[in-house]
Amino acid sequence: MGVRVVVVDDHRLLAEALASALKLRGHRVLAAAAPAAGAAELVISRAPEVCLLGTATPAEPGVFEPVARIKRERPQIAVVVLGPVPSPRGIAAAFAAGACGYVRQDERIEGVERALAKARAGEAAIAPQLLQGAFAELLNPAVQPDDEAGRLLRLLTPREVEVLVRVAEGEDTRLIAAGMAIAPSTARTHVQRVLMKLGVGSRLEAAALAARTGLLDRALPAPSSTATQG
């Protein structure tokens, strides 16, 4: 009995070629697409038994968000990831998002069919050695360096970074406004936004946090003579 399947891949030719091969072998392909966005919406709307989701970057952060959304909204849909030569981290990320299988993109069509059958039956559609590596990565994830300064910098706009540097140098609202050639009310608003984004209650706390995390070392120094409009 054929499987009702949706094939999604970044490369339309790959998606259509795989869909054609599956149709020839008796499977019902509900859709074959290469959406720049909207993969989850497509799969949810077509409601297949199995989704084959292709990705060229399985270890990239956020790449499996469509998988997570599909499993949140249609948990009965089994998702099998089609990826390149896999890394344990990429497979771990796929399974953590809710995928039930991982198949290499260069797998023969017979291998893809076996993965479809296993996924529909609720089994893990992945070679045992790859699954072991994925579980090892989940149980013992590689330690990532703590980059609190980088995280905080990403929260702030360039103008807010400049304000924070000036706050850390002890400038009050009047000096910040004069140094940045903006109105005092605008400077005050910038300061309030910086405090809110950093999750602190005072300028002193903001300065201490910036110094403790090394944020000031990575922030560009506030210009002393350039006049810009705020």
Which pairs with CB-CB distance under 8 Å and at least 24 residues apart come from 193-200? 193/160, 194/156, 194/160, 194/163, 194/164, 194/167, 197/155, 197/156, 197/160, 198/152, 198/155, 198/164
Q: Are 156 and 164 in contact (CB under 8 A)?
A: yes
Pairing, β 28-33 against β 101-104: unpaired
Residue 211: its pLDDT value, please?
78
List of residues 6+ apart from 187 with CB closer than 8 A: 163, 173, 176, 177, 180, 230
- HSE-CB of 204 using CA atoms within 13 angstroms: 0
**Dihedral sign computed on CA atoms, order 33, 39, 42, 43:** positive
Residue 224: its pLDDT value, please?
43
Residue 93: its pLDDT value, please?
83
Residue 29: its pLDDT value, please?
95
- DSSP letter, residue 226: -
Separation CA 215–CA 113 (nearest Å): 52
Residue 199: its pLDDT value, please?
85
Q: Are 94 and 64 in contact (CB under 8 A)?
A: yes
User: What is the torsion angle, in degrees rounded to the nearest 10, for the CA atoms of residue 165, residue 168, residue 172 and residue 174?
Assistant: -10
Tens-digit pLDDT profile for the chain (230 aa)? 789 999 998 888 888 999 999 999 999 999 998 876 788 999 999 999 999 998 877 767 778 899 999 999 999 999 999 887 667 778 888 888 999 999 888 888 999 999 999 999 999 898 777 777 666 766 666 545 457 778 888 888 889 989 998 988 889 999 999 999 999 999 999 999 999 888 888 888 888 888 777 787 777 554 443 434 44
List the beta strands (DSSP E) in the chain: 4-8, 28-33, 50-54, 78-83, 101-104
